Amino acid sequence: MSASENGMTRRSMLKTAAAGVGGVLAGGALAFPTGCEGRGAKEKAGGTAATLKNEDFYDEKGAFLAAKAKQAYFDMMRRFAYPIVPKFKTDEFWALDFGLGDFVHVGMAGIFWWNSKEYDYFGHEIFLLPGQMLVEHAHIETPDAKPKMEAWHVRHGMIYTFGEGEPTEPCPVRLPESQKEFITVRHAEPLMPGEVRELNRPTAKHFMIAGPEGAIVSEYATYHDNAGLRFTNPRAKL
């Protein structure tokens, strides 16, 4: 992912946001320290989610409960005053855990606003709960599409983008235990509301993790072909 153009500002932002995101736990729940900009476990209802539990999003047989997951995203949208238009109540709005059984740490919701193969452009909204990781992946060429190129525009909350480059040490956010052995890119940069960053090159591996309030991110890209999507975790799927 592209280098920061304002290193001192970004580094200061990173330190502030890392104080909250660094509280991600690996044992099935997300928790954030109460000292994170005054937000935390004692937040009033409708504020930053302080605790999310995996068991709340799976039935007794381990099946993912997409409807409950969508409700968690709707709650986040309301907190951000993001409009829940009728299209969100259709199957065009989807939530998934990538088949990994670790939704509160690795999952997302999304909606494709537009995806034109003919004119090669794409508009997508990404929704991430607090501390949630969009699993590492890349896009390769297919018979119907060139390698997808994309950029991310944070609307609400914040994210850490991870991609190629010198590993960021120390890592500003605790990576999900379930994904550590499959993560291959460790250069991290914070992306704040109103900021935009592009993938450094087509086919590059990348992922993102939301900050302590979650995130809503607009993606601008070339045509998206699911056949070209490649996860680094061999168990991950749509």
- pLDDT tens figures, 141-187: 999 999 999 999 999 999 999 999 999 999 999 899 999 999 999 99
Largest CA distance in the chain: 52
- pLDDT tens figures, 19-29: 444 433 333 44
3 state SS of 88: helix
Fold of 7-231: Jelly Rolls (2.60.120)
Average pLDDT over residues 58-70: 98
Q: What is the pLDDT of residue 51?
A: 80
The tokens describing 62, both together, are 């381990």
d(CA 162, CA 159): 10
Domain boundaries, the chain: 7-231
pTM for the model stands at 0.82
Q: What is the pLDDT of residue 8?
A: 38
